[in-house]
Amino acid sequence: MDGKNKEALKEIERLTAKADEVQENILKEILTQNSATEYLIKYMKGSKNMLEFKQSVPVITYKAIRPYIQRIANGEDSSLITSHPITEMIRSSGTSEGKPKFLPSIEEDLDRNMFFISLITPIMNQYVPGVDEGKHMYFFFVNKEISAPCGLPVRTASSRLLQSKHFKRQARDPSNDNNTSPYQAILCSDISQSLYCQILAGLIHRHQVQRLGAAFASILLQVISVLERNWVRFCNDIRTGQLDLMITDLECRSCMSTLLSSPDPCFANEIENICSRASWKGILCQLWPRAKFIETVITGSMAQYIPALEFYSDEKLPLVSNVYASSECFLGVNLKPLCDPSDVAYTLLPNMGYFEFIPLGEDGTMLMNVGEEDDVPNDKLVDLVQVRLGCYYELVVTTFAGLYRYRVGDVLQVIGFHNRAPQFRYICRRNVILSLDTEKTNEEDLQKSINVAKKLLEPYNVLLVDYTSYADASTMPGHYVLYWEILFHGSSKADDQLANIAALDEKMLQECCIAVEEELDFKYRICRTHNKSVGPLEIRVVEPGTFEELMDFFIDQGASINQYKTPRCIKPEGALKLLNSHVKASFFSPRDPKAATPTIVDSTNVYNVIM
Ligand code: AMP
């Protein structure tokens, strides 16, 4: 192991061994630097005392900080919340009241995040020696930037990293070209062209690739789906040495032309032989025979993709879920990257921000006793080193960039310690019920969308009796499924109801599908229309009485009839089976939902609309 890797591991040991001291120093530093901000003066009257902070500064959600962020976006000084100049706004995939969240970021956040990223390879090297040799086929994407009214750039945390000077320098250094994707292809904000070129480059380097990955498992499956639909094209490009004319981006064409310098029919035939097999089981190992593992987040909502990844790798490549990060703050790393997917734990790095925790339950019982927007008494929170094994917590962060006691919304369970730093299993995002890619749909969003669609049924004398939903990840791409039980007014006989379902107006239900989609938040619509990572929404109409049977099912499983509420999202397989066995008709959205432009339109007006 080289000196740089050893240093990184030593630093992890130091930070985790002194987690309490590191955390205390972080909070002291934040308070010293930011005590004169309008936000902290309001609660601490200029004090820099940590006890005062804990007693007086409220635990908040995005709603409370949004007005400050909005003022800064409109041109007021960063000193409203931080002593450092805010250099950009980070757009999170989370939403608040259906609108995207924008989080403040300062210059030094980039160094903190680069430090975080620099730990990944040294950790991996302990388990897979020589991991930094050979090539990585890691799919990166950059979203088109928009600007806040004051001119500050607004982008995602990953776009920021990829467009940073540091990354650019690395990417342009010919001695450091260990990623298969050409930098120009990564920077192309037309996702389909970027993806096409990145896959083609990965195929061209197939014999050198040692690790393959993408930020989230859903992205990797999208890669496979594009490959499945386009392998003939890829082979053709390699065979002729000419890039498909569908790629019109000049930068992409220029970087790919160096890779496709001459026709190579032999190599094209090799790939064609593999891709034309009847089953794609294990295709990843066949196309990239030297790959040692797959690097991608497979925890939380991404766990639903594990079976598909296991299928495409024939269970021969370990799935490595190595980072836990958010737009607010990069959070934790997995110190045992080759562990079983069900044992993945993230050790929060105590120097990334100041962490506190809202206790949710004791001894492994998760009591969601604090609502998403409930006031949390200041003295309820516990520090990083005070969390207890087996217990569940909601994460609260305080950052240098102006978030104070901010509820990230993630529910975590302590499953171990590394030195003094706790290791957390990621349980869920509070209240998110459907998520296939980076979109996160909560119960409220879904309900609002259903209410709009429901109105379309009224003129037909049709009533929506009950509904639930399911994120179907078995299709490519995954799509939302709504189970609807509907009632036709004026006819109570079951036979009539069934006959009416059979005669349902397809257009009416298709209109309902699209109405739901157009009411879902902008991130969903981006995934649907721009990223194509979510497919058309489906409504499955079930026969009368199905939801009663569903209730019986849950009561049989131990639910209390007094507390029973139809779950708005179905996870247990038994319940799904039950619902599917009662489906009488199924309808899909006939087109892409409208108004999903914020990431692709470069204008301050757009920013105003989405703020
Ligand atoms: P964003 O702010 O858009 O970057 O989304 C951050 C959120 O994604 C986190 O708060 C988590 O809810 C989720 N997330 C990030 N990393 C992981 C992970 N390793 N496992 C599960 N969920 C994750």
CA distance 468 to 303: 21
pLDDT tens per residue, range 261-300: 899 999 999 999 999 998 899 999 999 999 999 999 999 8
Assess whether the C-beta atom of 140 lies below 6 angstroms from ligand 1.
Answer: no
Quick one: pLDDT band at residue 431, thresholds 50, 70, 90? confident
Q: What is the CA radius of gyration of the chain?
A: 25
Which of these, 75, 72, 63, 74, lies nearest to 101 by C-alpha position?
A: 63
Rounded average pLDDT over 434-445: 85
Please state, in angstroms and rounded to a whole number, the distance separating the CA atoms of residues 604 and 149. 5
What CA–CA distance (Å, rounded) separates 30 from 84?
A: 11
How confident is the model at residue 108, as a pLDDT?
93
pLDDT (average), residues 132-150: 87
Kindly give the number of the ligand 1 atom that is closest to the alpha carbon of 321: 19
Average pLDDT over residues 355-379: 72
Distance from residue 485's CA to the centre of ligand 1 (Å): 34
The model's pLDDT over 207-244, given as tens digits with 9 standing for 90+, comes to: 999 999 998 887 888 899 889 889 999 999 999 999 99
Residue 2 has, within 13 A of its CA and on its CB side, a CA count of 6
Higher pLDDT, 446 or 596: 446
Backbone angles phi, psi at 125, to 5 degrees: -60, -25
pLDDT attached to residue 564: 65
pLDDT in tens, 385-413: 999 999 999 999 999 999 999 999 899 99
Pocket probe for ligand 1: among 101, 109, 120, 297, the residue whose CB has the most ligand atoms within 8 Å is 297
Reduced to 3 states (helix: H, G, I; strand: E, B; else coil), residue 91 is strand
Most confident of 317-326, 372-381, 488-497, 541-550: 317-326
Predicted local confidence at residue 399, as pLDDT: 97
**d(C-alpha 557, C-alpha 255), whole Å:** 57
Verify whether ligand 1 is closer than 6 Å to residue 337 (CB atom): no
Report the relative pairing of strands 319-320 and 293-297 from DSSP bridges: parallel
- Given a cut of 90, is residue 430 above it in pLDDT? no
Cα distances (angstroms) measured from residue 140 to each of 103, 180, 188, 198, 406: 21, 11, 10, 9, 29
DSSP string computed for 94-142: EEETTEEEEEEEEHHHHHHHHHHHHTHHHHHHHHSTTTTSSEEEEE---
Question: What is the CA 163 to chain-centroid distance, rounded?
Answer: 20
How many angstroms from the chain centroid is the CA of residue 370? 24
Both structure tokens of 463: 């009533």
pLDDT band at 97 (very low <50, low <70, confident <90, very high): low
296 touches 61 (CB < 8 A): no
Percentage of the chain beyond pLDDT 70 is 90
Residue tagged 């001894």 (tokens): 363
> What is the mean predicted confidence (pLDDT) over 175-186?
84
Longest CA–CA span in the chain (Å) reads 79
Query: Which of 429, 143, 161, 173 is CA-nearest to residue 302?
Result: 429
pLDDT of residue 607: 43
Nearest CA to ligand 1 atom 8: 326
Q: Ligand 1 within 6 A of 62 CB?
A: no
End-to-end CA distance of the chain: 48
SS (H, E, C) 225-268: HHHHHHHHHHHHHHHHCCCCCCCCCHHHHHHHHHHCCCCCHHHH
285/277 Cα distance (integer angstroms): 14
Q: How much is the mean pLDDT over the chain?
A: 88
Atom 4, ligand 1: residue with shortest CA distance: 326
Find the 345 Cα to ligand 1 centroid distance in Å. 14
Q: Quick one: tokens of 513?
A: 């599908």
Distance 46 CA to ligand 1 centre (A): 34
Q: In angstroms, what is the span from residue 418 Cα to ligand 1's centroid? A: 21
CA distance 277 to 96: 46
CA dihedral for 588, 311, 119, 177, sign (positive or negative): negative
How many angstroms does the Cα of residue 597 sit away from the middle of ligand 1? 23
365 band by pLDDT with thresholds 50, 70 and 90: low
Return the higher-pLDDT residue of 145 and 527. Answer: 527
Indicate if ligand 1 lies below 6 Å from the C-beta of 218.
no
Residue 326 Cα to ligand 1 midpoint, Å, equals 5
Nearest CA to ligand 1 atom 22: 300
The whole-number average pLDDT for the span 342-370 is 82
Instruction: With a cut of 50, say whether residue 606 has pLDDT above it.
Output: no
Q: Return the residue whose CA atom lies nearest to atom 9 of ligand 1.
A: 326
Q: Ramachandran region of residue 554, left (φ > 0), alpha (ψ -120 to 50) or beta? A: alpha
CB proximity list for 223: less than 8 A, separation 6 or greater: 139, 195, 198, 199, 214
The mean-pLDDT minimum among 298-312, 453-467, 493-507 falls in 493-507
CA of 429 to the centre of ligand 1 (A): 8
Q: Please give the distance, rounded to the nearest whole angstrom, from the Cα atom of residue 404 to the centre of ligand 1.
A: 19
Q: What is the pLDDT, as a whole number, of residue 493?
A: 60
Residue 211 host element (H or E): strand 209-216
Q: What is the rounded distance in angstroms from the CA atom of residue 371 to the CA atom of residue 360?
A: 10
Cβ(299) – ligand 1 distance below 6 Å: yes
Strands 354-361 and 382-383, how do they pair? Answer: antiparallel
**What tokens were used for 320?**
């490595």
Handedness of CA 292, 298, 302, 305 (dihedral sign): positive
For 133, counting Cβ atoms within 10 Å of its Cβ (0-12 exposed, 13-18 middle, 19+ buried), the class is exposed
Indicate if ligand 1 lies below 6 Å from the C-beta of 326.
yes
Q: How many CA atoms lie within 13 A of 455 on its CB side?
A: 8
In eight-state DSSP terms, residue 179 is: B
- Hey, is 165 helix, strand or coil? helix
User: Which residue's CA lies nearest to atom 19 of ligand 1?
Assistant: 324
Return all residues near 206 (Cβ < 8 A) that are at least 6 apart: 271, 287, 288, 289
Whether 159 lines ligand 1, by a CB cut-off of 6 Å, is no
* Distance from Cα 103 to the centre of ligand 1, integer Å: 14
Mean per-residue pLDDT for 354-370? 72
Which segment of 254-258, 348-352, 603-607 scores lowest on mean pLDDT? 603-607
> Under the phi-then-psi rule, with left for phi > 0, alpha for psi from -120 to 50, and beta for the rest, what region is 356?
beta
Position 167 pLDDT exceeds 60 = yes
93 pLDDT exceeds 80?
A: no
Distance 408 CA to ligand 1 centre (A): 10
Q: What is the 3-state secondary structure (H, E, C) of 414-473?
A: EEEEECCEEEEEEEEECCEEECCCCCCEEHHHHHHHHHHHHHHHHHHCEEEEEEEEEEEC
100 lines ligand 1 (CB under 6 A): no
Q: Tell how far the Cα of 324 is from the centroid of ligand 1, in angstroms.
A: 6
How far apart CA 254 and CA 276 sit, in angstroms, is: 29
